[in-house]
Amino acid sequence: MRFAALLCSFALTAIGLTAAAPSSSDPRLAGGFRSGPENGWTFVHLQGTPGAIGYQHGYLLAAEIEDAKRAIELSTTHDVKHSWAELREVAQQYFWPKVPAEYREEIEGMQQGLAAKGSKLDVMDLVTMNGFMEFTYYYDDMRRKDAKGAIAPSHPPEHCSAFVATGSYTKDGRIVMGHNNWTDYLTATRWDIIFDIVPSGGHHLIMDGMPGLIHSADDFGINDAGIMITETTIGRFHGFDRTAVPEFVRARKAMQYSESIDDFARIMEDGNNGGYANTWLIADRKNNEIGRLELGLKTITLERTKDGYFVGSNFPINPRLISEETDYPADNPNEPNTVRHRRWDQLMAANKGKIDVESGKKFETDHYDIIEKQIDPDERTICGHIDRSPRGLPGWYGPHGPAGVAEVKVADTAMAEKMSFVAGMGHPCGVEFHAAEFLKGHPDYAWQQGVLQDLKANQWTVFAARTSPEVRSALQ
């Protein structure tokens, strides 16, 4: 009990703010707390063994996890045309056996924390939630096999826009990284947690995420070994290995255990199943190096530099990957993801030597459509607003589909040294989405009624890890 009290005391002293302390006397809750919401974000601190981290997560966010499950279930079952029960069967057969003991304990602990608050969600509900972005890859692969060689349409679940720069491209010669999360608006409003995690093994990490998920899922995070991580999905990708390790396991492990760019690449490649295939942008602030890992199922490319930039907007890069593992229309210069790529290159060139956190915030909320040569937030702009596009985004959503940017994060080396980043929840660009008004004008999306929520233009907010060195030492 003395150790538990010590942890809780250190944690509350470190934050310097009012935090919601658990009323339960369960020792697994020692040191865990939540605060907010603040400008749309809820800050959650978790620490201890895997079981304790999971228990704190489930207990502190029980209502939010129930709500996130409702949104994830509606979104995913509609996209893949399979029931939640069928998704659970896939998770049970293919995902759960590949989850290592550490993360099994965390998920089981989460279920126990939920149960303590009266939730009926079970372990397999949580595994299915964690793998929700991998089901499209699984079912697309099954369709391709059933077609006996004919290529069935691919349905990529997410899109994003991200950059990382260093050296002569940044204002102080050090790293700047930014990311905005494109998703359907059903799940968008649930991507509102800042997780500050101090595990008993691996590294202290801070990341954005969704209630109930052990990984960031849109993958923006920083650990105390100096590694900064983000990604964008590889557009029109196909391929899946049912015998390999789920992406959500590898992504969390890489966030927690990486100490170098090579570490990150090794962890992500080990047991790669092709699910939620991404182009990863990585930075190591210790040596001012940045990298880009294009992680296909069969074709993998790692680039790195100490003077330059990498960007992502769902365009594939390696010609072999494009031809063998995607249906990407590389010969179409007006493909929305390719258009965003050109805009990224424009911004990098125009701002060479000046890029900083403020630049990153402007980049990630950029509404310039280079086809129309004017400001017009749509599916071709870095800050995406598919709901405003009469074209929609082929392969994902039709005209005026309720999807686009859900939130934005930016950090530089100085912030990463303090385990912090600046985040804008919803539409920090200022162009809001109002669910009732949208559904009134688009009755074909009435199936989202009651779950679809507004996306507000929240203010930018800086979040930082809130534990002291003494807490970290006590856990080791």
> What is the mean pLDDT of each successive set of 10 residues along the chain, which is 476 residues long?
35 37 78 96 98 98 98 96 98 98 98 98 98 95 76 66 98 98 97 98 98 98 98 94 98 98 98 97 98 98 98 97 95 96 98 98 98 98 98 91 97 97 97 98 97 97 76 44
Q: Are 208 and 221 in contact (CB under 8 A)?
A: yes
- In this structure, how many other beta carbons lie within 10 angstroms of the beta carbon of residue 17? 12
The fold adopted by the segment(s) 2-31+45-146 is: Penicillin Amidohydrolase; domain 1 (1.10.439)
Residue-level pLDDT at 146: 79
Fold match, 2-31+45-146 / 159-475: no
**Given its phi and psi angles, is residue 131 left (phi above 0), alpha (psi -120 to 50 degrees) or beta?**
alpha
Q: What is the largest CA-CA distance in the chain?
A: 65
Question: What is the Cα–Cα distance from 197 to 204, expressed in whole angstroms?
Answer: 6
**Domain regions of the chain by residue span:** 2-31+45-146, 159-475
Using CA atoms, how far apart are residues 48 and 28, in angstroms rounded to an integer?
8
Q: What is the DSSP letter of 445?
A: G
Residue type, 115: A
Three-state SS for 439?
A: helix
Q: What does the pLDDT read at residue 17?
A: 36
- Topology (CATH level 3) of domain 159-475: Penicillin V Acylase; Chain A (3.60.60)
What is the model's pLDDT at position 468?
Answer: 43
Q: According to the model, what pLDDT value does residue 158 have?
A: 66
Nearest to 420 by CA among 86, 196, 181: 196
In this predicted structure, what is the pLDDT of residue 145?
81
Cα dihedral 246, 251, 252, 254, rounded to 10, equals 120
DSSP-assigned beta bridge partners for residue 229: 221, 282
